[in-house]
Amino acid sequence: MSSNAATLPPNLARMVERFARQSDPKQRYEQLIWLAKKLPEFPESEKVPENKVSGCVSQVYIISGLNDGKVVYQGDSDSQLVKGLVAFLIQGLNGLTPEEILKVTPDFIQQTGLNVSLTPSRANGFYNIFQKMKKQALSYQLSE
């Protein structure tokens, strides 16, 4: 099943559209850096192996919690660009139910244009971050 902007959750659809409007890869990178700077401080105590995203060249950490049945994520990376990708996903997925998150497929990245801007290792990292977030959502669904 393929996601298009119409079937994506509203916040993620907005993020996708914002990036899709940028035709210049440099502007997309600038937008990612801007998102990275807006990401809330990540607790150092949470930078532990079980919160680390595997398969990323950069150090990436994702944690989540459940608040009134909605998943709330926090994340960080030692790379500003990757931190921007983390922020992109957090803004797009925060506040959704585990079921809503699990319905999202990773092909929305094609609509952003980021897939042509990112190096293969960064694009793979983006996918791994997304998969870690989905895995965390699944754990909440399984614990219900």
Q: Catalytic residue positions?
A: 56
Cβ(112)–Cβ(122) below 8 Å: no
Cβ(32)–Cβ(43) below 8 Å: no
In sequence order, which residues have a C-beta less than 8 Å from that of residue 41 and are 6 or more positions away?
A: none
Cβ(86)–Cβ(129) below 8 Å: yes
Could you give the CA distance from residue 124 to residue 105 in angstroms, rounded to a whole number? 15
Could you give the CA distance from residue 125 to residue 57 in angstroms, rounded to a whole number? 7
